[in-house]
Amino acid sequence: MRTRSSIALSLAAVLGGALALTGCAVTSHGVQPSALGVARPSSELLPLLSQPGPVELETVVSCDWSVDRGGLINLDHPTAKTAGLDDSAEPIQVFFHAIRHPEKGLFIVDTGVETAMRDAPEKAAMRGLIASAMDMEKMTVHAPLGEWLAKQPQPLSGVFLTHLHPDHITGMADVPAGTPVYTGPGEARDRAFVNMVVQGNSDRALAGKPPLSEWTYAREDAGLFDGAVDIFGDGSVWALWLPGHTPGTTAYLVRSTKGPVLLAGDISHTRWGWEHDVEPGSFNNDGDRATVSFKRLRAFAQAHPEVEVRLGHQH
């Protein structure tokens, strides 16, 4: 798969002019502050890690895929060089995570892939140039979100996004119209060359949904993370702000009935990168800041080994 920067440069060469110089937002969909959740110091979640949680958590493999390793892992890192890693295809998966709260209902983190990606790719929200550039034809679909939702005994109450990259909203078209969608601050308005082809796809995926609700973090200069939101107000699910991969990149800490689980998103795409302390490669908005967030999240996980870590595209 071509990197985001190579796609952007190709687009700039074709389009030229001011738009090519400034890029555009990832979506033109509306944005509003989230009415859900309470900003709290991230340190307040620590005493809760040893207490049983009320949430049932299920991770669903929506599809198998493969992309160039250099986007997922920094191949210039000394550890990667010593291991002899190259930029060949890396097998990955696309997930969504189901959160069942005993009082608040069913929510998902990220969206897997939509049913049309398997049955009618030409009609999917993600199609055309962006689907070709991302090699989406290589996706082997196992559990499209729409089919999964149809089997659930309760309606979907909301979608929590780790970020707005196409592979994390590929199932969004299967989300029922009117369902609230939550994301990190600044995520929807980040401008980039590549968004000149991404925006139409994102808008199709988000069609019929309310304005995106941005988590209202209180910035922490010396906290565990850049900010934290107690989503349901009971300490069961936390949104953790870790910008860099994208401006609003958010991880989720879920106190499940089987113990605490960290849904890391693309702060680390791969198991190898996480275990060897090697940050992601070119698939980052701000590589330096992404590395800082990667180190912070990894330090948190090492300090609290009772927390199970589920990464963006590998477990």
**Spatial contact of 156 and 175, defined as CB atoms under 8 Å apart:** yes
Is the confidence at residue 7, as pLDDT, over 60?
no
Residue showing tokens 């119209």 = 177
Rounded-to-integer distance, Cα 165 and Cα 160, Å: 13
Residue 161's identity, in one-letter code, is L
Q: What is the DSSP letter of 51?
A: S
Encode pLDDT of 280-307 as tens digits.
999 988 899 999 999 999 999 999 999 9
How many separate domains does the chain show?
1
For 151-203, how does the pLDDT look when each residue is reduced to its tens digit (9 = 90+)? 999 999 999 999 999 999 999 999 999 999 999 999 998 888 888 889 999 99
Q: Are strands 181-183 and 212-214 parallel, antiparallel or unpaired?
A: parallel
Q: Where are the alpha helices (DSSP H) in the chain?
A: 4-15, 17-22, 69-72, 78-82, 116-119, 129-133, 145-150, 195-206, 271-275, 287-303
pLDDT at 42 over 90: yes
The reply to whether 251 falls in a domain is yes
The number of residues in the chain equals: 315
pLDDT at 2 over 60: no
CA distance 267 to 12: 28
Q: Please report whether residue 305 resides in a domain.
A: yes
- As a whole-number percent, the residues of the chain with pLDDT over 90 amount to 84
Domain containing 45 equals 37-310
pLDDT in the model for residue 285: 87
Q: Is the pLDDT of residue 19 over 70?
A: no
Q: pLDDT tens for residues 238-262?
A: 999 999 999 999 999 999 999 999 9
Gap between the Cα atoms of 94 and 108, Å rounded: 13
**Does some domain include residue 30?**
no
CATH number at residue 254: 3.60.15.10
Assign 22 a pLDDT band (cuts: 50, 70, 90). low
Q: Is 51 exposed, middle or buried (0-12, 13-18, 19+ CB in 10 A)?
A: exposed
Q: Does residue 237 fall inside a structural domain? A: yes
- Encoding tokens for residue 153? 């005994």
